Amino acid sequence: MRKAPSSSATIKAVIMRKKAVSDAPKASTLKTQRAKRDREAASPRPRKAPTVEIVTSAKLSEIPWLLHGFSTRQGGASKEYGGGQLNLGYTAEDDPRNVARNRQRFLRKLKARDEAGAPWPLVLLNQVHSAAIHRVYGARGPEWARLRKNRVLESAGDGLITNTAGVLLGVRIADCFPVILADRKRKAVGVFHAGWRGTAQRIVEKGVGEMRRQFGCQPENLVAAIGPGIGACCYEIGEEVENEFDSQFAYSKELFEDVFDSWSLKTKYPMLFLNQRAPGHGEPAMSRHLDLVKANWCQLLDAGVAAENIQSVDQCTACRTDLFFSYRKEQVTGRMLAVVGIR
Ligand SMILES: [Zn+2]
């Protein structure tokens, strides 16, 4: 009788497969080995949560007694706005306890503490897009007791100046530009909140004026830093904004530029836009954009600050929503702080 070759081949194959299975390590052994490998791979570089990052100005950092910083959104306790966010404003969506934690983290990272380790009082404003500037007097001032007790004092306005050490002045931002001023000789500082309204009302120019009046600052000793805010690349504005600037500044035309509606598309694919402009098809849609960095730069120059003493950190909040909160881009978002103080 002829043996069926197929069945013999099948048996052989089964035996081979069984052998292969028995040679392989047991599932439990594999699991242990993998766990060991994973542990080893993990131990030299443990996974770290993002830490608090602070943007600083190189020019301001040269002043030894000055403490300053622009917060970013990383390394916080807020669960809103994407989670792990350093929201420093008491916004409607966020848990106030997490905002308080975030402020502590930010102050710790800044090292804004007295010799006893207590954090400096943080002075913030109830910001109203004005040109109102407040002076913080420190121990001589009527607000000092409240400042020491509550740690935070808020009054209406958009600019703060002081020559008192051990106090942190701050403005809340999410697209509006923070501008910090420091007098190297007189040891005086200021911080200003400059959105389009504050800029149109010349808050920074007035800020230099107030520092001259209150502390006898000479503009040539002032160093200025313009922090992160919405850049000309992303800041589309309406006619009323342009009209307001036209009525206020002789140089207003220099502050505006026409940008293609799909600005980023245009830079990425210029050929697409060349082809679009076929004869008889009209011009591509344009929009008006405002350059608030340039506007505040002009005000600083007008007030007598030397160009070499002005620095912009050159960061657009709307371009970099991974790093910054942008109200224009995100609508519902957190707030950052720009702070300055004297050691
Ligand atoms: Zn931008």
Q: For 118, left (φ over 0), alpha (ψ -120 to 50), or beta?
A: beta
Q: Please report whether residue 171 resides in a domain.
A: yes
Q: How close is the Cα of 235 to the center of ligand 1, in Å?
A: 7
Q: Please report whether residue 260 resides in a domain.
A: no
Q: What is the pLDDT of residues 9-39, one digit of tens each?
A: 444 444 444 444 445 556 667 777 777 777 6
Q: Please report whether residue 72 resides in a domain.
A: yes
CA nearest to 169, candidates 193, 199, 205, 202: 193
Q: Please report whether residue 218 resides in a domain.
A: yes
Q: How far apart are CA 240 and CA 259, in angstroms?
A: 18
Q: How close is the Cα of 264 to the center of ligand 1, in Å?
A: 9
CATH number at residue 124: 3.60.140.10
Supply the pLDDT for residue 10. 47
Q: What is the pLDDT of residues 277-289, one digit of tens each?
A: 555 555 567 899 9
Q: How close is the Cα of 79 to the center of ligand 1, in Å?
A: 26
Q: How close is the Cα of 278 to the center of ligand 1, in Å?
A: 29
Supply the pLDDT for residue 26. 61
Range(s) of the domain holding residue 120: 54-235+291-342
Q: Please report whether residue 169 resides in a domain.
A: yes
Q: Please report whether residue 78 resides in a domain.
A: yes
Supply the pLDDT for residue 219. 98
Q: How close is the Cα of 326 to the center of ligand 1, in Å?
A: 10
Supply the pLDDT for residue 58. 97
Weakly modelled stretches of the chain, pLDDT under 70:
1-28, 39-48, 150-153, 261-284
Q: How close is the Cα of 291 to the center of ligand 1, in Å?
A: 11
Supply the pLDDT for residue 48. 65
Q: Please report whether residue 21 resides in a domain.
A: no
Q: How close is the Cα of 6 to the center of ligand 1, in Å?
A: 72
Supply the pLDDT for residue 13. 46
Domains of the chain: total: 1
- Which amino acid appears at position 100 of this protein? A
Supply the pLDDT for residue 150. 67
Query: In b/e form, how buried is each residue of 215-238, taking b as 16+ CB within 10 angstroms?
Result: bebebebbbbbbbbbbbbbbbbbe
Q: Please report whether residue 246 resides in a domain.
A: no
